[in-house]
Amino acid sequence: MAFGYRDKILRINLTDSSIKIERPGEDFFKQYIGGTNIIGYFLNKEVGGAVDPLSPENKIIVAPSVITGSPVAGTSRFSVGAKSPLTEGFGKSEAGGFFGPELKFAGWDAIIVEGKAAEPCYICIKDDKVEIKSAKHLWGKDTGPVQEMIREEMGEKKARVLQTGPAGENLVRFAAVCNELKHWNGRGGMGAVFGSKNLRAIAVKGDDREFMKEVVKVKEYAQWFGKNWKNHDSLDGFGKVGTMGLPTILSGMGILPTHNFQMGEFEHAEKIDRITIEKEMEMKREGCFACPVRCKQVVKKESKDPDKNIDPAYGAPEYETLGSIGSNCGIPNAVTVCKGNEMTARFGMDSIGLGMTIAFAMECYEKGIITKEDTDGLELVFGNEEAFLRIIEKIAFRKGFGDILAEGSYRAAQKIGGDAPKYAMTAKKMEFAAHEGRGKWNVALGYAVSPNGGDHVVVEHDHCFMGEPNEDPKALVDGNVFSLFNYGIRKPLEPCSLDHEKVRAFVILQKLWGVMDMLDICIFLAEPSRRMILMEHLPDLVNHVTGWDLSLNELIIAAERSIVMGRLFNAKCGITSKDEGLPERVFTPMTNGAIKGVAIDKKEFEEAKELYYHMAGMDENGAPLKGKLVELRLEELMS
């Protein structure tokens, strides 16, 4: 009997309605483990670089990891990948919630969806029973009603539904997919790939939870976490407020994206912070599978004005949303931001891509590049709450000017023309996340060299390693060894630097965070040095679940495969070093706040990028060298 994995990959071709089971064997799962690695393998193996991301030849890969679904907190996550409609390269996004564990309980290690259905459909999975069902009656509806209708049709109130919304149906390039209406695989346009295949949803219900080898030891670990997490400083507070408390903090540091990254300090930051949200709306907390931290905030507001009602079914904005559709669009009202979040969730869009694209359009409007004649009469100025809410719906349904913005800010800028491309804050055509790279230079480097594009979950952010006792391998944090010393990061890192030490640390941290991606484990609970679950704990957890005997070094090598496979796929798609640049704005000084006057040195950035390529085993175009592919046993993916 296999443990940790089922040795069952479900392949569904929507063109001919065929359903197949593939059994790649134990060696495959030992090499790739799960998540982004499985996505990287199948994209390189089966999706050509010339494939149109919105064509039937693209493939959706849904992949948990070998530890997904264990009772240990943080192991609820899973990944969704495809060739990205936004970057036209490697695309993947992770989410928590309940879908990943349920897929494991149904007996599946991954799902590959290919082809295109002749009519709208959804996939229904009950353990071994897999059906393709009509979704014609679901097409065009918001995500909330669709989830309830699918559960009713399945006769399963707790079926887990992974779905896109109207935005995905309309091929909005930053459309996303969600489960439980609140947990989002947001980046890269995975919802648009669903829509391009006439696939509205994948619903799953599973009843087999017996997949762990050493069940007692895994449960002991889960119990240890449950008893001790409240004593861990970073988790107790996080559980109470999630990430909603960050706008005021980051604004004070001068690194809160404001008015399309023109500024780093937002004068109304406190008006979109957690304290104000709690005053103006009802709040409660929810969480992911098997997690006692319950960091997911939920808001509710009832009003005589239906436009100001906030439906709690769609959760609440987390920091990325507050920064993207809040401060970056200049919105000074918590209710409006929460309403924007609800609309984003109902229509099925990535709140980061949406907010950054609207902010781009607002700057273009204020600079006179576009006018009311272009925007259907909307005054798209920063802080205009009515225009902000109206443009969200226009984008989701590709109405009027929304049709242009639905392409994402990079393509919208090309269509608008003039100086518009200067104001698209993207990397590899993907919008930056809500983190100001001029105050976090390794985040900026991550935007450039991440296989995904403008991804902020690439390495630990700079400020987390200022002044830490990295030189002391015996330093204790909540009883755990502060472990970065063991990986070669032996002194504090300066946020505004890309010197050799910083690039060395970046290469190390990218691999360590790659372990988190590969295992689909929550970075707020597990992380190389600062969280409760440390890197040193992970081999035991993996081995207790699987019965294997993998070392930490083997996990890090496996994680490096994910980075290299992502870059390999991008090279096949024609993405080179020239595409790994940054907008000119990051090389110009900040205009306000605590780091006013600071800018990334362009020469230093280019030198750091070149050094990164050398250290990571890439050629001058950023593609993996043959030797690196052979070293990582990836020869079969070279062609």
Residue 492 above 80 pLDDT?
A: no
Residue 517 above 70 pLDDT?
A: yes
Of the listed ranges 20-29, 297-306, 486-495, the one predicted with least confidence: 486-495
SS3 state at 315: coil
Closest CA to 269 of 245, 251, 244, 242: 251
pLDDT value of position 308: 80
- All structural domains of the chain: 9-205 (3.60.9.10), 251-423 (1.10.569.10), 437-637 (1.10.599.10)
Of the listed ranges 213-227, 476-490, 600-614, the one predicted with least confidence: 476-490
Q: What letter would DSSP give residue 420?
A: G
pLDDT value of position 484: 64
Both structure tokens of 308: 């100001």
Both structure tokens of 112: 């590959």
SS3 state at 82: strand
Of the two residues 358 and 531, the one the predictor is more confident about is 358
Cα–Cα distance, 626 to 7 (Å, whole number)? 30
Contact indicator for 445, 616 with CB cutoff of 8 Å: no
The burial of 287, by beta-carbon neighbours within 10 Å (0-12 exposed, 13-18 middle, 19 or more buried), is given as middle
- pLDDT band for 482, please (50, 70, 90 cuts): very low
Cα–Cα distance, 276 to 290 (Å, whole number)? 30
Residue 57 above 60 pLDDT?
A: yes
Contact indicator for 464, 575 with CB cutoff of 8 Å: no
Residue 74 above 70 pLDDT?
A: yes
Residue 471 above 50 pLDDT?
A: no
Cα–Cα distance, 11 to 121 (Å, whole number)? 16
Contact indicator for 356, 328 with CB cutoff of 8 Å: yes
pLDDT value of position 486: 67
Both structure tokens of 416: 């608008």
Cα–Cα distance, 421 to 409 (Å, whole number)? 8
Of the listed ranges 25-39, 239-253, 461-475, the one predicted with least confidence: 461-475
In order of 119, 333, 453, the CA distances from 83 in angstroms are 22, 37, 12
pLDDT value of position 470: 40
Closest CA to 268 of 326, 335, 340, 354: 326
pLDDT value of position 89: 98
- pLDDT band for 475, please (50, 70, 90 cuts): very low
Nearest-10 crossing angle of helices 602-616, 500-519? 60
CA 421 to chain centre: 25
H/E segment holding residue 446: helix 441-449
**Considering the chain, what is the average pLDDT of its residues?**
94
Closest CA to 177 of 198, 201, 156: 201
Q: The tokens 């990051």 sit on which residue?
A: 586
pLDDT value of position 303: 83
Query: Which residues are paired to 65 by β-bridges?
Result: 34
Q: The tokens 């495959």 sit on which residue?
A: 28
Mean pLDDT, residues 8-33 taken together: 98
pLDDT tens-digit readout, 220-273: 999 999 999 988 877 877 777 889 999 999 999 999 999 999 999 999 999 999
pLDDT value of position 238: 79
Mean pLDDT, residues 445-465 taken together: 88
Both structure tokens of 222: 């889960």
Cα–Cα distance, 579 to 574 (Å, whole number)? 9
Q: The tokens 């608008």 sit on which residue?
A: 416
CB within 8 A of 127, min separation 6: which ones? 106, 107, 205, 206, 207, 208
pLDDT tens-digit readout, 116-159: 999 999 999 999 999 999 999 999 999 999 999 999 999 999 99
Residue 528 above 50 pLDDT?
A: yes
pLDDT value of position 481: 40
Mean pLDDT, residues 160-173 taken together: 98
SS3 state at 36: helix
Residue 480 above 80 pLDDT?
A: no
Cα–Cα distance, 93 to 186 (Å, whole number)? 6
pLDDT value of position 479: 38
Query: Which residues are paired to 126 by β-bridges?
Result: 129, 205
Cα–Cα distance, 632 to 327 (Å, whole number)? 43
pLDDT value of position 466: 61
Cα–Cα distance, 429 to 85 (Å, whole number)? 10
CB within 8 A of 344, min separation 6: which ones? 321, 325, 351, 354, 392
pLDDT value of position 529: 66
Cα–Cα distance, 286 to 291 (Å, whole number)? 10
Contact indicator for 190, 62 with CB cutoff of 8 Å: no
Residue 416 above 80 pLDDT?
A: yes
pLDDT value of position 234: 72
Contact indicator for 63, 81 with CB cutoff of 8 Å: yes
Cα–Cα distance, 39 to 185 (Å, whole number)? 14
pLDDT value of position 526: 86
Q: Which amino acid is at 480?
A: N
Both structure tokens of 461: 């952010």
Mean pLDDT, residues 58-78 taken together: 98
Cα–Cα distance, 566 to 461 (Å, whole number)? 21
Show the CA angle centred on residue 547, arms to residues 545 and 552, nearest 5°.
80
pLDDT value of position 483: 55
- pLDDT band for 493, please (50, 70, 90 cuts): confident
pLDDT tens-digit readout, 285-343: 999 999 999 999 999 999 888 778 999 999 999 999 999 999 999 999 999 999 999 99
